[in-house]
Amino acid sequence: MSTEKTLVLVKPDGVSRGLVGEVISRIEAKGYSIDALRMLHADRELLEQHYAEHVGKVFYEPLVEFMMSGPIVAIVASGNRVIEGFRALAGVTDPTVAAPGTIRGDLARDQGTKVVQNIVHGSDSTESAAREIKIFFPN
């Protein structure tokens, strides 16, 4: 049985606020492994692939613009049930109501922007994880 993998992104708000280490710490403290890591400044083409499922939604363009607004950190984390486990560490999408103790609940809040800025992305299924890891780590 191969170990499950997920794609985590520290978004531009997380990087600019100096929270890369905090996110990595929480992943490691939970017991998952960091298999790969890279910092990049994503372009539109890459983000259009990554966020293909959200094309046409009102927050799509603000989301792409936000994700291009500064450097991000892409991480492959692994471990049994890491996809579900990282989503639990991240908390729900809306940081206002994300539970205290989660990354979003502890470190983010509503900034009144068109797109929710919530520090991290985490894949939501084995299919999305495989697809997203290939986008950020083509080799």
Strand, helix or coil at 134?
Answer: helix
Q: Which 8-state DSSP code applies to residue 34?
A: E
Smallest distance, ligand DAT to C-beta of residue 93, A: 3
Half-sphere exposure of 126 (CA within 13 A, CB side): 6
Smallest distance, ligand DAT to C-beta of residue 49, A: 14
Is 121 near ligand DAT (CB under 6 A)? yes
Is 6 near ligand DAT (CB under 6 A)? no
| Burial track 65-88 (b if 16+ CB lie within 10 A, e otherwise) | ebbeeeebbbbbbbbeebbebbbe
Is 69 near ligand DAT (CB under 6 A)? no
Stretch that binds ligand DAT, among 20-28, 29-37, 113-121, 129-137 (CB under 6 A): 113-121
Q: Give every CB contact of residue 25 below 8 A, 6+ residues apart in sequence.
A: none
Task: Respond yes or no: is residue 54 known to be catalytic.
Answer: no
Name which position in 115, 128, 131, 137 contacts ligand DAT (CB under 6 A).
115
Question: What residues line the site for ligand DAT (CB under 6 A)?
Answer: 59, 63, 93, 115-116, 118, 121, 124
Active site residues: 121
